[in-house]
C-alpha cells in the first residue's frame, strides 16, 4: 500500500521540484547577489522613503508592491504615493479614500490608467481599508507634454492654479545626469533636448509631492516606473537635493530569459532588483 501511494505521489513530487527550479522571479541586492524577500523587507522597512520601480505591465512587480506594502504596514506607519495619479486628481483620490465616492464614480471623475483595475486598485483599496494617506504625485501629463515641445519656459505661462500641481518653478535640472543623456541616445536624437526635460518635470514633481506628504517617522512607499528611480537618479536625485538626510531605498524591475544570474547591465541599478522571467504574462 505504501509503495502504491509513493508511486502515485512521485509525479506530483517531480512537478514540485521542477516548479522550484523554475521560479517566476529572483530578488538581487545592489551587488548582484541573490537575497530573500524577507531580507529585502527588513532593509526597506527601516527607510524613510522607498521608491518601488516597476514595469507598468508586470504582474510580479504589482503583486510584490501590494505584499511589501502590507508587510511594511505591520511595523511602520505608512504614507503611499504613485506616479499613476496626477496631482490635479488628488481631490478625487481623497474622496474615494474617504468613501465619499464609489469606484465607478472615481473611474469617471479621475484620469485612471487603463490597467488601474488590475494593477493599482488593490493598492488604493488597501489604503482605503486601512486609512492610509495616498498622494497623487505626478505632474499633469498635458504640462509634461508642453515641456517636451517647448522646454521649461512653457510652464511660466500657466495660470497660478496649474502651477500648484507641479514642483515649484523654476525646476532644477541637470542635463548631464546619465539617465537624461541616455534618453536622447535611446530616441536617436528625436525629441531633442526637451525630451529629458519633460522626464525631469515628472521626476521633480513626484519628489516634491513625496516630500510634501511625507510624515517624519513614517515610511513613504512610492510606486513609479523603474526609469524614474533607476541608478539612484530621477526622483531620488531630487529628493536628495532637497532633503539629503533622508534614508531612501530603491527597487527596480528587470526581465531576463534566465533569472538565476543577473546580467551585468542590470546590476547596481537599485538597492534591490526584482528579476522576472521574460515569459511571465503581462497585464496588458
Q: Looking at residues 174-190, what average pLDDT do you find?
A: 89
- Cell 537618479 identifies what position? 233
CB-based burial label for 102 (10 Å; 0-12, 13-18, 19+): exposed
Q: Compute the distance between CA of residue 9 and CA of residue 11 in angstroms, rounded to an integer.
A: 6
Comparing CA positions, the residue from 96, 119, 116 lying closest to residue 106 is 96
* Residue 70: inside a domain: yes
* Residue 196: inside a domain: yes
* Residue 14: inside a domain: no
In this structure, the number of other CB atoms found within 10 A of the CB of residue 216 comes to: 6
Q: Where are the alpha helices (DSSP H) in the chain?
A: 2-21, 37-44, 59-72, 90-97, 103-109, 121-129, 141-150, 160-163, 178-186, 194-213, 235-242
Strand partners for 35: 27
Could you list the residue range(s) of the whole structural domain that residue 71 is in? 25-277
Q: pLDDT tens digit string along 189-228?
A: 676 899 999 999 999 999 999 999 999 999 999 999 999 9
Q: What percent of the chain stands above pLDDT 70?
A: 92
- Range from 26-40, 90-104, 179-193, 260-274 carrying the lowest mean pLDDT: 179-193
Instruction: Name the percent of the chain in helix, strand, coil, to the closest 5.
Output: 50, 20, 35
Q: Identify whether the C-beta of residue 203 lies closer than 8 Å to the C-beta of residue 234.
A: yes
| pLDDT confidence bin for 256, thresholds 50/70/90 | very high
* Residue 232: inside a domain: yes
Check whether 10 has a pLDDT greater than 50: no
* Residue 152: inside a domain: yes
Q: pLDDT tens digit string along 66-88?
A: 999 999 999 999 999 999 999 99
| pLDDT confidence bin for 13, thresholds 50/70/90 | very low
Check whether 119 has a pLDDT greater than 90: yes
In this structure, the number of other CB atoms found within 10 A of the CB of residue 30 comes to: 15
Helix crossing, 194-213 with 235-242: angle to 10°?
A: 50
* Residue 223: inside a domain: yes
Radius of gyration of the chain (CA): 21
Q: Compute the distance between CA of residue 218 and CA of residue 227 in angstroms, rounded to an integer.
A: 25
Average pLDDT taken over every residue of the chain: 93
* Residue 104: inside a domain: yes
CATH code (residue 195): 3.40.50.11550
Per-residue pLDDT at 11? 45
Per-residue pLDDT at 14? 39
Per-residue pLDDT at 91? 98
Q: Compute the distance between CA of residue 97 and CA of residue 129 in angstroms, rounded to an integer.
A: 8
Comparing CA positions, the residue from 69, 75, 16, 3 lying closest to residue 46 is 75
* Residue 5: inside a domain: no
Our count of domains for the chain comes to: 1
Amino acid at each position: 500500500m505504501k509503495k502504491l501511494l509513493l508511486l502515485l505521489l512521485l509525479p506530483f513530487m517531480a512537478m514540485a521540484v521542477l516548479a522550484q527550479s523554475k521560479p517566476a522571479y529572483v530578488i538581487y541586492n545592489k551587488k548582484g547577489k541573490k537575497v530573500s524577500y524577507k531580507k529585502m523587507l527588513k532593509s526597506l522597512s527601516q527607510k524613510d522613503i522607498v521608491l518601488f520601480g516597476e514595469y507598468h505591465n508586470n504582474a510580479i512587480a504589482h503583486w510584490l508592491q501590494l505584499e511589501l506594502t502590507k508587510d511594511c504596514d505591520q511595523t511602520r506607519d505608512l504614507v503611499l504615493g504613485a506616479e499613476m495619479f496626477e496631482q490635479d486628481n488628488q481631490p478625487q483620490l481623497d474622496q474615494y479614500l474617504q468613501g465619499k465616492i464609489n469606484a465607478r464614480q472615481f473611474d469617471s471623475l479621475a484620469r485612471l490608467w487603463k490597467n488601474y483595475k488590475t494593477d493599482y486598485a488593490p493598492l488604493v483599496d488597501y489604503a482605503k481599508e486601512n486609512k492610509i494617506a495616498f498622494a497623487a504625485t505626478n505632474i499633469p501629463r498635458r504640462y509634461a507634454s508642453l515641456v517636451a515641445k517647448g522646454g521649461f519656459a512653457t510652464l511660466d505661462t500657466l495660470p497660478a492654479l496649474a502651477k500648484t500641481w507641479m514642483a515649484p518653478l523654476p525646476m532644477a535640472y541637470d542635463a548631464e545626469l546619465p539617465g537624461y543623456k541616455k534618453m536622447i541616445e535611446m530616441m536617436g536624437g528625436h525629441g531633442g533636448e526637451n525630451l529629458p526635460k519633460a522626464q525631469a518635470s515628472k521626476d521633480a514633481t513626484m519628489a516634491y509631492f513625496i516630500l510634501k506628504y511625507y510624515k517624519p517617522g513614517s515610511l513613504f512607499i512610492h510606486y513609479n516606473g523603474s526609469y524614474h528611480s533607476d541608478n539612484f537618479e530621477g526622483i531620488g536625485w531630487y529628493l536628495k537635493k532637497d532633503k539629503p538626510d533622508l534614508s531612501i531605498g530603491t527597487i527596480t524591475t528587470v526581465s531576463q530569459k534566465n533569472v538565476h544570474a543577473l546580467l551585468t547591465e542590470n546590476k547596481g541599478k537599485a538597492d534591490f532588483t526584482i528579476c522576472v522571467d521574460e515569459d511571465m504574462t503581462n497585464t496588458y
